[in-house]
Amino acid sequence: MTLPALASSTRAELEALTVRFGQPAFRAGQLLDWVYKRYELDPDRMLNLPLKLRTELKSGLVCRSTRLERADCAADRTEKLLISLADGEAVEMAVIPAPKRLTFCLSTQAGCPVGCRFCASGAGGLKRNLTAAEIIEQLYHGIGRAGRLPDNIVFMGIGEGLLNFSRLATALDRITEPDYIGMSPRRVTVSTSGYVPGIYQLIELGKPFNLAVSLHAVDDITRAALIPDRLRCPLAEIRRACDDYEREIGRMVTFEYVLLAGINDRPAAAEKLAAWARRHHAKVNLIPYNAAVGGFKRPAEVDILRFRDILKKNGARVTLRLEKGAKIAAACGQLRAWQEKKDDHDSN
Ligand code: SF4
């Protein structure tokens, strides 16, 4: 029998559990308080619970399903945490401090099925979806490092979260519902490689999450050179879904764009991207490529600046950071993008 996981348990599940252990119903409220308001998953530290219940919880639940293996800190104090899963897989998350806000970047899958050709995380394909508890426990590991709840959470680590939708939705529920952790959905960003069915599932949740869409190209032929066919949606469908997201949810989207030398960095692409950004009221986040996968190269600085300037000249809001050599590599460029946004290099 698979034991339920403490980190994603609902109030009803905890009530049923405490009743099963012969405890009064108010114990479930105490347990909820420990898990979701005090971010504590170790029953031994839940000192207002009777010893007998604490012992029973350890045998009746999976209290922690992940372990912090390693933390690497960059010069800018961003920490990349390596989190191991019970079956030997591992994922990464990042704790990203900035003067005005603390951001955690979480993963949703071990490996990634999308397989973008410039991305190391996608190279080995999908190992498996994370459970909701494995997603939420990353948040707790981050709190353990930073000492507090973050101001923002971005799902821009390893994986395409919208392809693990039900578990992502459970994690979003526990993170944002007032009975549980209770963060504002406006402080949570869901990133996607442009998986349209998932964008519509997110719309059905009806909460004002931020949506970041990785375009990386303004025509389907160029995009096909970057993202394999199987999970790539046509740009026209992605743009329609962005329109629907904005209309139904009332939030603007962000377009993520990894700049690759000789592939998508030409002036004509910048002009088209600017027109789309204006049309969708979207902010563009430019991410000069900074890895070495699939033979792709970072554009020359002059080409990066020209691309940025064309976007600005054509009325797009754009974010770019030029520094190279970040010590902490992102899962797929998206993490770096978020980090860059926080570094006050907004060129508006
Ligand atoms: S860039 Fe993102 S969506 Fe693409 S393979 Fe990497 S992790 Fe997956």
DSSP 124-152: T-EEEEPPHHHHHHHHHHHHHHHSS--SE
Amino acid letter, 42: D
- For the entire predicted model, the pTM comes to 0.92
> Which residue from 153, 165, 108, 111 is spatially nearest to 133, judged by alpha carbons?
108
Residue by residue, pLDDT tens for the chain (348 residues) are 678 899 999 999 999 999 999 999 899 999 999 999 999 999 999 999 999 999 999 998 999 999 999 999 888 888 999 999 999 999 999 999 988 999 999 999 999 999 999 988 888 899 999 999 999 999 999 999 999 999 999 999 999 999 999 999 999 999 999 999 999 999 999 999 999 999 999 999 999 999 999 999 999 999 999 999 999 999 999 999 999 999 999 998 999 999 999 999 999 999 999 999 999 999 999 999 987 778 899 999 999 999 999 999 999 999 997 654 343 344 354 444 444 444 433 343
With vertex at residue 37, the alpha carbon angle to CA 177 and CA 158, rounded to the nearest 5 degrees, is: 65
- Cβ < 6 A, ligand 1 pocket: 112, 114-116, 119, 121-122, 158-160, 193, 331-333
For residue 102, give both structure tokens: 């603390």
Q: Which of 40, 56, 332, 340 is catalytic?
A: 332
For residue 286, give both structure tokens: 């430019």
Residue 142 CB neighbour total at 10 angstroms? 28
Whether 137 sits among the annotated catalytic residues: the reply is: no
CA 338/CA 14 separation, integer angstroms: 36
* Beta carbons of 113 and 160 less than 8 angstroms apart: yes
Can you give the residue ranges of every domain in the chain?
Answer: 6-60, 66-341
CATH label, 66-341, candidates 3.40.50.980, 3.30.565.10, 2.40.50.140, 3.20.20.70? 3.20.20.70
Q: Which residues pair with 317 in a beta bridge?
A: 283
Whether 92 sits among the annotated catalytic residues: the reply is: yes
With vertex at residue 143, the alpha carbon angle to CA 326 and CA 290, rounded to the nearest 5 degrees, is: 15
* Beta carbons of 129 and 109 less than 8 angstroms apart: yes
CATH code of the domain occupying 6-60:
1.10.150.530
- Asked, colleague to colleague, whether 6-60 and 66-341 share their fold, the answer is no
3-state secondary structure of 153: strand
Q: Which of 91, 106, 119, 231 to mutate to test the pocket of ligand 1 (most atoms within 8 A of CB)?
A: 119
Q: Which of 92, 134, 160, 340 is catalytic?
A: 92
Distance of CA 265 to the CA centre of its chain: 26
